[in-house]
Amino acid sequence: MPDSPPLRVAELFAGVGGFRVGLERADREAGREAFQVVWANQWEPSTKRQHAYEVYAARWPEGPHQNTDIAQVPAEAIPAIDVLVGGFPCQDYSVARTLNQAAGLAGKKGVLWWQIHRLLQEKQPRFGIFENVDRLLKSPATQRGRDFAVMLASLADLGYSAEWRMINAAEYGMPQKRRRVFIVVYRDDTPQAKRLRKDPAGWISKDGVIASAFPVCPLPLPGMLPGQPATFPLEGSLSDLTEAFNLRRRDVSPFANTGVLCGREVLTTKTVADHTGPRRTLGDLLLPEEQVPPQFFIAKTDLPDWRFAKGAKSLERTKRNGVTYTYDEGALPFPDPTDRPARTIITGEGGPTPSRFKHVVLTPGGRHRRLTPVELERINTFPDDHTAIPRVTDGKRAFFMGNALVTEIITRLGRSLARSVAGT
């Protein structure tokens, strides 16, 4: 049987191209072109220089890609697509808040989820793969789950079914403890959506695109048997749904780490990773000491500041209204253990200033040092020096990695989706 044509992909919020790196690796490993990125968009608000876009354009000079606010891009400017992908900015998902403030859908433009929504509506791709921080499932703090409920209901109204999973990359052998929510959406007329709707529980536990890529064991939800999912409808207009959540305080999200959406019906359950393969550690990817540039080594005189930053402490803080309170934080390991995966990389990982969150390792020669940009790329499973372009600092390269994702997750999801589409 001849290969089906590649799935045409548009990459939104592309950053330095984590989705594209992941999908291209899936193709290379499978030895066939299942995906073809036909359009990409990346724009950093409020900065003149567009560093991430510069990296993207340097890596894929052939284009087509755009450096414009996605909200300004008309759907007609984007070619026909089969798959829409993107990790949308995480500070920005308070979808229901804007719905509410604007008393309806009219004021939704500032929140970037609605750009994904608009392009699903206008381009009607068969599939979508989206990524966000795990907080997405429980936001906002006083009406937990409200924003995700609105997102799911808005997908159902567009004629999409969906599945989601909170994946910690380290639990599947990747070298970083990074927990992110992945959402895969299927247009309701696709064979995948039909199969999902026929057996939603089977889809999330073994048959689905996510479960095939990331096997799981089901766990019991409170008061339920292992694998017995909770089901509930998302009722009413998006504004009514928002109001229903706003009516009372909700400290626990109704959404567990795994779930599906079919129509306006949600089925959700708790799962744990089922992984027996190799596990990579921070130590596996470190450069030999002699290859580390001198600026990454920490002077002995600075070590007390690092120890303080990493140590347990109680800090007096003052709220905006002048009220003071004590903030306690526990100790973080110092130096970072190299026999385990790295902690989550954040955007502030770069630069020499002592910080609680930056990684510090002890070299075989007994010196403390920070991680180099190449090591940060390896932690996210990017190719070495992916972000090395002229006039981009090490601090910026660390920032890119704090924003990016573990590309191997996309490789595995891409491979699984391609297999499902090819019917194997």
Ligand X SMILES: C[S@@+](CC[C@H](N)C(=O)[O-])C[C@H]1O[C@@H](n2cnc3c(N)ncnc32)[C@H](O)[C@@H]1O
DSSP 246: H
Q: Please state, in angstroms and as integers, the Cα–Cα distance from residue 414 to each residue in 120, 378, 399, following that order.
A: 19, 20, 25
For the bound state, the minimum distance from the C-beta of residue 376 to ligand X, rounded and expressed in Å, comes to 12
**CA-CA distances (angstroms) from residue 3 to 12, 35, 160, 364?**
27, 12, 26, 50
150, 241 Cβ separation under 8 angstroms: yes
Over the Cα atoms of the chain, what is R_g? 22
CB of residue 124 vs ligand X: minimum separation in angstroms?
21
- Closest contact distance (angstroms) between CB of 47 and ligand X is 8
* 403: phi then psi, degrees, rounded to nearest 5: -85, -20
The contacts of residue 423 (CB under 8 Å, 6+ apart) are 191
Categorise residue 414: left if φ over 0, alpha if ψ from -120 to 50, beta otherwise.
Answer: alpha
Minimum separation from the CB atom of position 114 to ligand X (A)? 11
Nearer to ligand X, 136 or 193 (CB): 136
Residue with tokens 């997102």: 151
Report residue 27 as tokens. Answer: 């193709």
d(CA 21, CA 408): 9
Contact 268, 323 (CB under 8 A): no
Query: What's the min distance (Å) between Cβ of 22 and ligand X?
Result: 9
Instruction: State the nearest-atom distance from the C-beta of 37 to ligand X, in Å.
Output: 13
Q: Nearer Cβ to ligand X, position 161 or 176?
A: 176
Q: Are strands 160-168 and 179-187 parallel, antiparallel or unpaired?
A: antiparallel
Considering the complex, state which of residue 20 and residue 270 has its C-beta at the smaller distance from ligand X: 20
The 8-class DSSP code of residue 15 comes to T
Helix axis angle, 113-123 relative to 146-158, nearest 10°?
10
- From the list 90, 134, 145, 137, the residue with the least C-alpha distance to 112 is 90
The structure tokens 């660390």 sit at 398
Nearer of residues 88 and 160 to ligand X, judged by Cβ: 88
Q: Which is nearer to ligand X, 122 or 189 (CB)?
A: 122
Strand-pair category, 313-318 with 216-219: unpaired
Closest to 268 (Cα-Cα) out of 231, 220, 219, 234: 231
Which residue has the CB atom at the shortest distance from ligand X? 15
- Write down the residue that tokens 């906002």 correspond to: 140
- Closest contact distance (angstroms) between CB of 408 and ligand X is 12
Kindly list the residues in this chain that would bind ligand X in the complex (CB under 6 A): 13-19, 41-45, 52, 69-71, 87, 89, 112, 403-405
The residue among 165 and 369 lying less far from ligand X, judged by its C-beta, is 165
Q: Is-contact 360 305, C-beta < 8 A?
A: no
- Residue 132 beta carbon to ligand X: minimum distance, rounded to whole angstroms: 8
Please pick, among 90, 273, 332, 346, the residue that the annotation labels catalytic.
90
* CB nearer ligand X, residue 156 or residue 405: 405
Distance CA 239, CA 108 (A): 12
Cβ neighbours for 195, distance < 8 A, ≥ 6 positions apart? 203, 207
| Choice between 96 and 404, CB closer to ligand X | 404
262 catalytic, yes or no? no
Q: Which residues are catalytic?
A: 90
